[in-house]
Structure formats: C-alpha cells, structure tokens
Amino acid sequence: MGSQTQGIPATSPDTGIGLCDEAASSSLASRVAQEGSTVLDQSVAERKQLREILEQVQRAREHSSTELAQLRKQMNLLG
C-alpha cells in the first residue's frame, strides 16, 4: 500500500503504481501514438510517391513498346 502525502495517496492502493508513474506512462503512450501517426503519415506519403513513379515507368514502357512496334513495322517494309 502507498504512503500518504497531504491527504493524497502517493501510490494507488490497488496497483502500487505511483501518480508519477501513471503520468509518465500516459505521456509515453501519447508520444508513442504521435510517433506512430507520424510514421503512418510518412508511409502513406512514400506509398503515394512510389505509385507516381510506377505510373511514370509504366507510361515510359508503353511508349517504348509503341516505338519498337513501329520500328519493326518499318524494318519489315524494308525487307
């Protein structure tokens, strides 16, 4: 059981966790949640950027495929 400080228990009688421990735990949980949110935001931004890059690569590949098809056609005409 906890000791008494000015009528306020210094520790919880049920858990033995001090008020400072609870505040620190709450602060840590809040910080972890914020960092998790920041990591999630960064992940979403990176994913969006990767999708844009993939779209650019796909367009370039399609363009190259079209050019190759045209070159093959011209080469076939030349014999």
Residue range 13-32, pLDDT digits in tens: 555 555 566 666 778 778 87
pTM above 0.75, yes or no: no
Backbone phi, psi, residue 2, to 5°: -90, 165
Number of H helices, E strands in the chain: 1, 2
pLDDT given at position 64: 98
- Stretch 51-68: mean pLDDT, rounded? 98
pLDDT given at position 68: 97
- The answer to whether the CB of 43 falls within 8 A of the CB of 31 is no
**What pLDDT digit, counting tens, does each position of 40-58 carry?**
899 999 999 999 999 999 9
